[in-house]
Chain A
Amino acid sequence: MIECPVCGAEVSLPDGTVAGEILECTDCGTELEVTALEPPTLAEAPETEEDWGE
């Protein structure tokens, strides 16, 4: 188990997870990139920004 960097929920890495894989936090829904495996490290995956008329 590893902590979601956004909401702090526990995220489990499935067997066979590889670096660069994208997971989704089941609590906050954020897409997370597995940036390293030893030790397991997660970061927010880049998203396409929208300006919503700003």
Chain B
Amino acid sequence: MIRVGIVGGSGYTGGELLRLLTFHPDCEVTQITSERFAGKSVFKTHPNLRGSTSLKFCALTELKSCDVLFLCLPHGETMERIEFFQALAPKIIDLSADFRLADPSRYEHWYGRAHIRPDLLGSFVYGIPELHRDTIRAATHVACAGCNATASTLALQPLARRGLIASAVIDVKAGSSEGGNVASDASHHPERSGAVRSYRPTRHRHVGEIEQSLGGFPVHFSATSIEMVRGILATCHVFLTEPLEDKAVWGAFREDYAKEPFIRIVKERSGIYRYPEPKLLSGTNFCDIGFESDRGSNRLVIISAIDNLMKGAAGQAVQCFNIMHGLDEASALTFPGLHPI
């Protein structure tokens, strides 16, 4: 059994990781930390796990060595303690943004401060398996991609790598769990309920990741928080460098994604769910992708959907874990979702 520790386990991504890893056939979660809840049973914070685990939260200072550490700390804290974590585990999977951007100047541009461990940026592999599977397989350090960046990058990558995108405008609708589990004035129910809140019309930090992965063309990104707990719907308005028939778009997606265990092309001519729908993906590791040509123009609309806590965080982290250890990539990730939900 692979011994795993989860650091910063009281948040939503930590809870999702514990849910997945508790039922993983090849791993044992030995410790999970929370400074706020140290000494308390995990199920009191993650009530869906009542009866599934007897773990109690421990403090960071009580953390012992293990085979793999999953780090779910707030942005900025991983890099401050990275040597402490490296001394405890030979493999690290970080779910924060600290080591996603390989270029320190790009990090400073998007996060507004200098990276304190630029010497280690090259040690981390960017954790989108569909783009970097072979390097993840050999990696000891993985920086899991951001949720909006994952949905956007997977939608655009097949056409981007073929040089077919002149520019892209990405409009993301996001659920409230993207904001984490710390309450704020903005999350107070009377304020949040029913809101359609444009929370980052420009300069979203995930643009740095999207540009790093795809490069070569302008990316414009806006995010809107809507009445949904889990989920992301990314509507990508792609302006093409040349006209494309639907068959050619199908061909590009088929060539890149036909063998991917967690990517499905959703483009139906009839029925209720003609395009990707985040609601159906709650709790799953799928990224559903669809598209529609705007006939008479060079615009192609590519639509992708994920569960931000799964393919956008914990699920993708476990997918990377499986790849790093030569396990079945879908191990502990086979939940197909619920319908109706």
**A interface residues, Cβ below 8 angstroms from B:** 6-9, 27-31, 44, 47-48
Contacts and interface: CB of A to CB of B under 8 A. Distances in A.
Contacts of B247: 6-8
B58 to A, nearest CB: 49
Given A7-B250, A29-B268, 14 more contacts: A6-B247, A7-B246, A8-B250, A8-B251, A8-B254, A9-B250, A27-B250, A27-B265, A28-B267, A29-B269, A44-B269, A47-B269, A47-B270, A48-B270
A33 B247 CA distance: 18
Nearest to B245: A8
A25 B313 CA distance: 33
A9 B270 contact: no
Contacts of A6: 246-247, 250
10 contacts: A6-B246, A7-B250, A8-B254, A9-B254, A27-B250, A28-B265, A29-B269, A31-B270, A44-B269, A48-B270
Nearest to B268: A29
Interface in B252-287: 254, 265, 267-270
A30 B269 contact: yes
A8 B265 CA distance: 14
Contacts of B267: 28-29
Contacts of B268: 29
A22 to B, nearest CB: 13
A52 B265 CA distance: 22
Nearest to A6: B246
A35 to B, nearest CB: 17
